[in-house]
Structure 1
Amino acid sequence: MPSPFDQSTYQVRLEWGVAGLERLAPADVVVVVDVLRFSSTVVDAVASGVEVVLADAVRWSRNGAAVAAAASAPTVLIGGIRNAASVARAIQFMQEKTGERTSIAVIAAGELDADGLIRFAVEDHLGAGAIIAALTDLGIDHTSPEAAVAAEGFRALRGALRHLLGASGSGREIDAGIPVTARIEASGLVPSTAEHAAELDAADLVPALVDGRFTRFA
Structure 2
Amino acid sequence: MSIYPYRNGYAAYAWVTTPEGNRKRKYVYGPTRKDVHEKWLKLHNEAKKGPVATNTPTLAQYLAYWLKEVVEPNLRPLTAATYETTVRLYIVPLLGSKRLDRLTVQDMRGWLNKLADTCQCCAQGKDAKRPEERWRCCAKEECCRQTLSKRRSTTPGRSSGARSPMPWSRSASQRTSPSWSRSSGPGASGPNPGWSKRRAPSLRTRALTPSPGHGLCGWCQRS
Tell me, yes or no, whether TM beats 0.5.
no
Larger radius of gyration: 2
TM-score range, shorter chain: under 0.3
Higher RCO by CA contacts (8 Å cutoff, separation 6 or greater): 1
TM-score w.r.t. the length of structure 1 is: 0.18
TM-score w.r.t. the length of structure 2 is: 0.18
